[in-house]
Amino acid sequence: MTEITLLNKHKLFNGEQRRYQHYSHFNHCNMTFSIYLPSRALQGYALPVIYCLAGLTCTDENFSIKSGAQRFAAEWGIVLVMPDTSPRGAEVANADSYSLGQGAGFYLNATQQPWAQHYQMYDYVVTELPELIEKHFPVTSQRSLCGHSMGGHGALMIALKNPQRYLTASAFAPIAHPMNSAWGKEAFSTYLGNNQAEWAAYDSTELIQLYPPSLPILIDQGSVDEFYPEQLHPQDFIVAAKSKGANIRYHLREHYDHSYYFVSTFIESHISFHAEAFGL
């Protein structure tokens, strides 16, 4: 059985915010994750889970410290799981660019060296981490995804590729068409090589054209986000989604930027969105 080591815990809204470390057999290194357990989970009741994916340069703690999601997860009775954004360690390949390497795993399975040995974040988030969570904590099989920026890319992409595993997906300012983004082109060419068919397998705008989702999707985008629309391209995704009749809600939020101030303003509506799908 995979062992997890408790690094710290804090009481929060009558529940506990915890941080753990474990060895990842997919990424071949130690990984950390944060988890919020509402009071009902501490009492042993099995609760649904939202996997909260963070963006470039972030760790598992950005969402847990800055989003304010725990207040609403406590009210609804939902467990929050916050993975790290990449493998880390002295033995793990890195790059000088903030948009590559440690802190920038892009939630894909790298095929190119030296990245392939450790950067298997897609399998980690989809398979290894949920198995770990479901083994060690009182959770149900109900799962949803929420993400910010690169994490928004991860949430949409993973949900589209695995609609049988997730009830809903939501995103704040997602990198929604990475093949049309400088960030995405850099990451995909580095981690996956030059075969753009492999890129398309991790691009939400491309995926939704092939596999229109049955699950509901919620996206919030700030109108003064410094990365909108050149890096994020939510409009490409929205056009593709609507052409397929997807169940999607999109809000362009006037005068909001790319920060966690934006995320924390609208996080309640995202938690409520997922709670509705959980039947809470």
pLDDT tens track of the chain, all 280 residues?
A: 459 999 999 999 999 999 999 999 999 999 999 999 999 999 999 999 999 999 999 999 999 999 999 999 999 999 999 999 999 999 999 999 999 999 999 999 999 999 999 999 999 999 999 999 999 999 999 999 999 999 999 999 999 999 999 999 999 999 999 999 999 999 999 999 999 999 999 999 999 988 767 889 999 999 999 999 899 999 999 999 999 999 999 999 999 999 999 999 999 999 999 999 999 9
- State the catalytic residues: 149, 225, 258
Alpha-carbon dihedral of residues 237, 239, 244, 248, nearest 10 degrees?
70
- pLDDT for the residue 2: 55
Strand stretches in the chain, DSSP E: 4-12, 15-24, 29-37, 47-53, 79-83, 139-148, 169-172, 217-222, 248-253
Burial of 222 (0-12, 13-18, 19+ CB in 10 A): buried
Are the beta carbons of 128 and 81 closer than 8 angstroms? no
Euclidean distance between CA atoms 276 and 280, whole angstroms: 6
pLDDT at 191: 98
Domains of the chain: 4-278 (3.40.50.1820)
pTM here? 0.97
